[in-house]
């Protein structure tokens, strides 16, 4: 039928039904959520009533944690929900929005879905975002920092250059992986009223299954986001997510300990990759983007899957000889290295 909208959908990493696998393809945290989350006693009788449409308890916890006011925080059902609403809210110009050519592959899906004109800007040969490419006239800018799937972090001085040259549009910095990186753009919020920072509980907080994401920005931007949210669904966040999300935020000691654990494994693993002849950009995430000169990424991907080790392969220009490898437990990464050793003999 001619009036059905056609969109090329986002393709997520494979979710194997078999639980007896080493799953390193979707950047989930290998460790459980905070014990405060796991052991929280919930009043499940409350499931019969609607949850708080303003998500007050979680908004307040996040605002306190980041040193912000409540009117600077917006909560959604995963960062994908927050980003989708941000596209709808802020990208309404006839001018194209700008984002990298190699980046989170949902951006062009949303642009197509919401009929937003867009242009992609090529990363340089080191997979870095080139700030000057975003200085021209546009309808908005969005990029992850660190970028995915390349794992490359852009220093805040370059983020500021992009913000300085886009004062009249909203610049969205997608910080899904920033807890594993050098520094957040959070320190720039007071200086830039056109900055929106988006975060998720799915990576560093080990709560991908709860679908919690949030945005931070000036009150005007947050108010606009809430208006869009309330225009079609007031009750986006369920009771369980609100309560357990607060528990996670309140256990900062555990949160930081798990980040350090992943970072330590990451350091060991990247050293082992170097020993085996892999090359990769410096990673500021909980994954590595690696290639090998002697054996193709696709061959390694398919061979690993036969051994029940799931990695992420992108059959796309410029990156079709790279594997994105999530940092798992020490034991999981040792098994992957053993697989590589045998395969590369």
* Res. 1 pLDDT band, cuts 50 70 90: low
Which of 330, 297, 331 lies closest to 311, judged by CA?
297
For every residue of 248-261, DSSP letters joined together read: HHT-HHHHHHHHHH
Which of 190, 116, 178 lies closest to 143, judged by CA?
178
- Residue 281: phi and psi, rounded to 5, are -65, 155
Say which DSSP state 97 is in. E
Give me the pLDDT at residue 143, please. 98
CA–chain centroid gap for 337, Å, is 26
What separation in angstroms does the CA of 57 have from each of 30, 54, 112, 128, 250? 27, 9, 35, 38, 12
Q: By the 8 A CB rule, do 40 and 244 touch? A: yes
Long-range (24+ apart) CB contacts under 8 A made by 248-254 are 248/33, 248/34, 248/36, 248/37, 248/201, 248/205, 248/207, 249/58, 249/61, 249/62, 249/65, 250/36, 250/61, 251/34, 251/35, 251/36, 251/37, 252/65, 254/34, 254/35, 254/36
Helical axes 56-66 vs 239-249, angle rounded to 10°: 20
Which of 145, 78, 108, 105 lies closest to 13, judged by CA?
105
Rounded CA-CA distance 105/100 in Å is 10
What separation in angstroms does the CA of 278 have from each of 124, 128, 212, 272, 281? 20, 19, 35, 9, 10
Rounded CA-CA distance 100/144 in Å is 9
User: At residue 162, does pLDDT exceed 90?
Assistant: yes
Say which DSSP state 197 is in. E
Q: Which helix H or strand E contains 109, and what residues bound it?
A: helix 107-113
* Res. 14 pLDDT band, cuts 50 70 90: confident
Average pLDDT of the residues in 215-234: 94
Model confidence pLDDT, tens digit, residues 97-145 = 999 999 999 999 999 999 999 999 999 999 999 999 999 999 999 999 9
What separation in angstroms does the CA of 180 have from each of 29, 266, 295? 11, 10, 29
* Res. 15 pLDDT band, cuts 50 70 90: confident
Average pLDDT of the residues in 293-301: 96
Q: Is the peptide bond before 43 cis (omega within 30 degrees of 0)?
A: no
Q: By the 8 A CB rule, do 95 and 139 touch? A: yes
Average pLDDT, the chain: 95
CA–chain centroid gap for 104, Å, is 8
User: At residue 16, does pLDDT exceed 80?
Assistant: no
* Res. 235 pLDDT band, cuts 50 70 90: confident
């Amino acid at each position: 039928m001619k009036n059905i909208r056609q969109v090329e959908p986002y393709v997520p990493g494979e979710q194997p039904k078999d639980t007896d696998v080493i799953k390193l393809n979707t950047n989930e945290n290998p460790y459980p959520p905070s014990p405060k989350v796991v052991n929280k006693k919930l009043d499940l009788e409350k499931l019969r009533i609607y949850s708080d449409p303003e998500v007050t308890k979680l908004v307040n916890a996040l605002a306190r944690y980041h040193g912000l006011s409540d009117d600077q925080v917006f909560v959604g059902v995963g960062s994908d929900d927050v980003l989708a609403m941000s596209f709808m809210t802020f990208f309404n110009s006839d001018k194209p929005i700008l984002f990298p050519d190699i980046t989170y592959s949902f951006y062009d899906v949303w642009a197509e879905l919401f009929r937003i004109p867009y242009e992609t800007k090529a990363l340089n040969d080191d997979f870095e975002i080139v700030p000057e490419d975003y200085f021209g006239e546009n309808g908005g800018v969005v990029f992850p920092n660190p970028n995915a799937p390349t794992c490359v972090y852009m220093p805040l001085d370059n983020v500021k250059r992009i913000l300085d040259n886009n004062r009249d549009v909203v610049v969205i910095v997608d910080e899904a992986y920033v807890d594993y990186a050098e520094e957040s753009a959070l320190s720039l919020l007071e200086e830039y009223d056109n900055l929106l920072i988006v975060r998720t509980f799915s990576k560093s907080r080990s709560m991908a299954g709860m679908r919690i994401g949030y945005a931070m920005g000036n009150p005007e931007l947050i108010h606009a986001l809430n208006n869009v949210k309330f225009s079609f669904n007031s009750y986006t966040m369920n009771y369980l997510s609100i309560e357990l999300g607060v528990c996670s935020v309140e256990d900062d000691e555990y949160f930081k300990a798990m980040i350090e654990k992943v970072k330590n494994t990451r350091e060991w693993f990247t050293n082992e990759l170097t020993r085996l002849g892999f090359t990769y950009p410096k990673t500021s995430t909980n994954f590595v983007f690696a290639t090998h000169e002697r054996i193709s990424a696709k061959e390694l991907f398919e061979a690993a899957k036969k051994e029940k080790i799931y990695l992420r392969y992108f059959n796309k220009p410029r990156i079709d000889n790279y594997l994105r490898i999530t940092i798992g437990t020490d034991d999981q990464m040792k098994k992957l290295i053993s697989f590589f050793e045998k395969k590369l003999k």
